[in-house]
Amino acid sequence: MRSFLSPSLARFAGLLVLLGLLLRGVSARAQADLPPLLYLPTDEAVLEPALFATRAALLSALQAKDEPGVRRWLRGGTSEDDDGLRGQVWRILTSDTATGAVMEVLTHGGKFVRPGRSQFCAPYWKDAQAFKRRVATSEYGGYEGSSWLVVTPDVAMRSRPSPGAPVVRQLSLEVLKVMPFGDPPGSRWGLDATGVFQWVGLGSARGWVEWSAIRDVSDNDSDAVCFIRINDTWRLSIIDVSAAL
């Protein structure tokens, strides 16, 4: 087919095509070699010694299944005026699963969520919506911009949903992509049949990680335990843990 471009324009067009191919290759390599994006643990309770001490005392009381010791730290103290927390504490302490779930939340740091350090909520990723929005519009965002957060150091991404499967790579506190429905084929939103492993992505890497090691930072209904400042003391105000409801 005869070209209607002059030799110089034809060479320029050829260069543009070559440049486009090179840039596409660079973009693909950048995606494959995407450096990990971390969301590091934070524990702002250390800024308020009274809060730090209250949380430690609450954890000890939970571990000992000491109901009076737990109720001591409720917003209403030992009175009935505690917005249902008194009854919730009883349900928590009569279930090892619920007690463990609340303690697990309390051992993952936290942040102040109101001005003047008047309210503190655990875990540290509970107030991560701003971070999530930034991730959603970047190459780190997965399906519809969604992402997982690795909350446990030294987690294995495996080639199959099995504890003994080959390791694709080691993970530690990275942001991971949520994969589309049906990826991999036969799964429901990437969860394996046992409910133990989740299919995730990081750059061009794909693999399975244990469900217990990741959290959805965009989930506004995720578990949380909160304290409020009352005068010079800190009191438990919210226990929003699914296993404890």
For residue 39, tell me if it sits in a domain: no
For residue 38, tell me if it sits in a domain: no
Residue in the structure block whose two tokens are 């090691």: 213
For residue 150, tell me if it sits in a domain: yes
Structural domain of residue 143, as residue ranges? 129-215
108 shares its domain with 133: no
Measure Cα distances from 177 to 47, 78, 180 in Å: 33, 45, 9
What CA–CA distance (Å, rounded) separates 184 from 107?
Answer: 33
96 shares its domain with 136: no
8 A C-beta contact, residue 120 and residue 113: yes
User: What pTM was estimated for this model as a whole?
Assistant: 0.75
Residue in the structure block whose two tokens are 């609450």: 58
116 shares its domain with 229: yes
Domain of 74: which CATH number?
3.10.450
The total number of structural domains that make up the chain: 3
pLDDT (tens digit, 9 = 90+) per residue, 97-140? 999 999 999 999 999 999 899 999 999 988 776 777 777 767 77
Q: How confident is the model at residue 34 (pLDDT cuts 50, 70, 90)?
A: low
The phi-psi region of residue 67 (left if phi > 0; otherwise alpha if psi is between -120 and 50; otherwise beta) is: alpha
137 shares its domain with 202: yes
